[in-house]
Structures are given as structure tokens and as C-alpha cells.
Structure 1
Amino acid sequence: MVDDHELVRTGFRMIIAAQLDLSVVGEASDGETGLALIRREKPDVALVDVHMPGLSGVELTERVNRSKLATRIIILSMVSDSPFPRRLLEAGAGGYLTKGCPAEELLKAIRAVADGRRYLAQHVAEQLALSALDGHRDSPFELLTARELEVAMMLAQGREMRDIARIMKLSAKTVATYKYRLFDKLRVDNTVALAHLAGQHGLIDRPLPGA
């Protein structure tokens, strides 16, 4: 379990501990620690919060996928009407739930994803299906590629360009190209405006100081 809210982890741990076929092998309160824990423990499934300080759920999912780790990711979010479900499926996530889901649904999702199937909360699946049918994009962030969204997340969280380049293992020039492309697509011209927009559309729950 990777979530920066201890109360959330405690609740999930209690639900999972009551099951004979499931067990929690580790917990982390941030993405970087969570990724290291996944690499060390190699769990079948990881429950990952989408909003965390530092490495986000989007970034963690992409790293696990790029590293070809066997662990399958279930993303937990406070919101369903954001670009995350589609982007996370593209990044390799096995499931997407909102934190308000019933305990029975959480357990159903864990078992389904552990068996190699994907699981989406019903209202999230319906939302994606309807969006695909009418071609409607609810968020301007839907215009971004997975890499552009990853850069946008880190910029909105206040990360410096050099840190983003190091984390993504890219040159500063490449990161700058992503930055200007996403600024153009979102019609913003600075990171403060980006943070405001990201907050409005559920990408971050902690805007930049003074934003």
C-alpha cells in the first residue's frame, strides 16, 4: 500500500487482514519509498494513491511498467472525473478505484487484478465508455501525451526542471520541449497558472505555494 494518508492505509489494512487469501507485505507514505518497496517485496498487487508528494501515482505506475516489474497497480483516487483513469490504463495500471468504494469492491478489485484482469469502478468504466463514444474530452489535460502529463504533474507540484530531467532520465532540453508543448496545449504560460488548472481538474490536491 502506497498512500500518504495513514488513516487510509489503516482502513485498507484492516479490510485486507480479515481475508484468508490476502495479506499486506508492506506500506509506504510516498511514491519514491513505495517504488523501492515494490522492487524489494515484489507483491502481486500494489494499492497506490494517485496524489502523493514527490513521485505521483502516475509516475510510479509508469516506472513499474517501464521496469517490467510483475506487480500490478491499482490506483486509488478521490476523484473519478479526471484524465487519470485513461492515462493510467495507458501507463499499465491494472485497476482504478475511488477511495469511497465499498470494502467488497476493493477486495473484488484486488483479486481480479491479481488474476491478471483489469478492474474499473463501474462509474469510471461508464465515464470512459461514454467519452469514447462521443469523443468528448472533459479535461484539457486529456490533450497531453502520457509523458507531457507526467511533466505537467511535476511542474504543478513545484519541481525544478533539472529535478524532472533527473527523475525521468531525460536531458534538460527534452524536458523543456515537453514543458513548452504542454503549456501550448493547455494555453498557460507559467507554472502558477498550470498549478491552478491542475487543481481545478483534480490532478493535484496541493497547489504551489502562493498559487
Structure 2
Amino acid sequence: MINVVLVDDHELVRTGFRMILQQQADFRVRGEAGTAEEGLRLIRTLAPDIALVDVHMPGMSGVELTERVVRAKLRTNIVILTIVDDARFPKRLLDAGALGYLTKGCSSDELLSAVRQVASGRRYLAPSVAQQLALATLDGSESPFDTLSTREMEVSMMLVRGMPLTSIGERLNLSPKTVSTYKQRLMEKLHVDHVVGLAHLMTVHGLLDTHNHQVGS
């Protein structure tokens, strides 16, 4: 039996994953959490085999949760779920100690296969992500985005999606002033002056498909 906890701030997402998992005889959903802080408490209390964790949550992020679980040497393996489909994020998450990386657009079969694989101690990468990581390795080129912290990368992805500072702050449980500081810092690191320039740089480095995103000003 594979015991799982779900950590995502969207109830509908958790419900969807729970329905998929509970239809299988070898899975048991032991608990759910709407924040990473609550998720960490569940992981410490229940010691599940797997925690399915959203990367973007108010307060503590999925990356921080992963790092804390690894530092505490807890037995739970982390599978990260995100809508962000780029090679930089999974590398950071895998470096943090996540064994699995899935996009929320994955099929139910892929979800089940990934969780079973990670439960057995093996790493799982969504095929599209594995391909991007392989290409990045073959290319051998460094990206300016490697200089960003995980939080700065999160803010940059939201900025190019047209989200205002107040909305980003609400999403990450940060004040607009703090978000503004992150914005200023990341733009200095990347040597860009505005969000349009940030979006262009992301496109050049393969982190953004401009056809699928609304770029803010």
C-alpha cells in the first residue's frame, strides 16, 4: 500500500488527484493540506510514502517544503506538481531533493506511474521536462536565470504572465513592497529594465512560449 498526502492550495486540484488515486487498490490518501506549513505537519505526523506538493503556495513554497523534508531526513518522498513547464524549475526542485516532477497537465496514467516509481525510490521526470534538461546539458550553455533564487524565479514567471504586484503578493503571502524588492533584484541580476524585456529574455532561453502567455507591462 502506498500512503499519500496531498499538499495544494486549490481544493479542486486536491479533489481531482484524490479521486484518481483512490480508484487504485494500491493507493491510500492519508491526508490533505492547503498550505506547505500544514503539509509539513501532516508529513511529520503521518510519515506517508509520498507527498504530492504544489510548487506555488501562499507562504512557504513547495521548494522550501521539499528542502525541510530532506534536511529532517524524513522518509517521505516528494513529487512536485506545477503548471510551470520549464527546465530551470525542475533542476532547482531536484537539487532541493524532490524525486518526482510532474506538470498539472499530466494524464492520470502518468500520475499513477510517477507516484509508483517514486514510491520505489526511483526518480521520475515528466518526459517534456527530461527532454529539456537533456538538451540543456548537451547545449552546455549557462542561463542568466541560473543566478536567480527560487523565489525570484517564481516572481519573474508571474510578472511575465501579467500579474500585478498585489496579486503576486497575495499568491506568495508577501507584501507588495517585498514583491517589488524581488522584482527590482531579479531585473538587476538579469540586466533588464521592464517586464517586456524580461519576457523576451525568457523566450530566448526557452523558458516562455509567448503564444501561450499574456505579457504584462
Query: TM tier, shorter chain?
Result: 0.7 to 0.9
Where in structure 2 are there 5+ consecutive unaligned residues? Answer: 1-5, 157-164, 209-216
The one-letter code sitting in structure 1 at the alignment partner of 2:116 is R
**Structural mapping, 1:79-118, within 5 Å:** 79-118=84-123
Fraction of identical pairs, as percent: 60
In structure 1, what is the equivalent of residue 150 of structure 2?
149
1:141–1:149 contact (8 Å) kept in structure 2 = no
1:66 Cα offset (Å): 1.3
**Structural mapping, 1:27-176, within 5 Å:** 27-137=32-142, 140-144=144-148, 148-150=149-151, 153=154, 158=169, 159=174
Counterpart selection for 1:185 from 186, 189, 214 = 189
Counterpart selection for 2:15 from 6, 10, 13 = 10
1:184 Cα offset (Å): 4.7
2:54–2:81 contact (8 Å) kept in structure 1 = yes
1:87 Cα offset (Å): 0.4
Q: Secondary structure at the match of 2:32?
A: coil
Assess, with a 3 A threshold, how the Cα gap between structure 1 residues 151 and 120 changes in structure 2: closer, same or farther: same
When the two chains are superposed, the root-mean-square deviation of aligned CA atoms in Å is 3.2
1:79 Cα offset (Å): 2.1
Paired residue total: 182
Where in structure 1 are there 5+ consecutive unaligned residues? Answer: 164-175, 203-210
2:20–2:108 contact (8 Å) kept in structure 1 = yes
2:82–2:102 contact (8 Å) kept in structure 1 = yes
1:179 Cα offset (Å): 11
TM-score (norm 2): 0.71
Q: Secondary structure at the match of 1:132?
A: helix
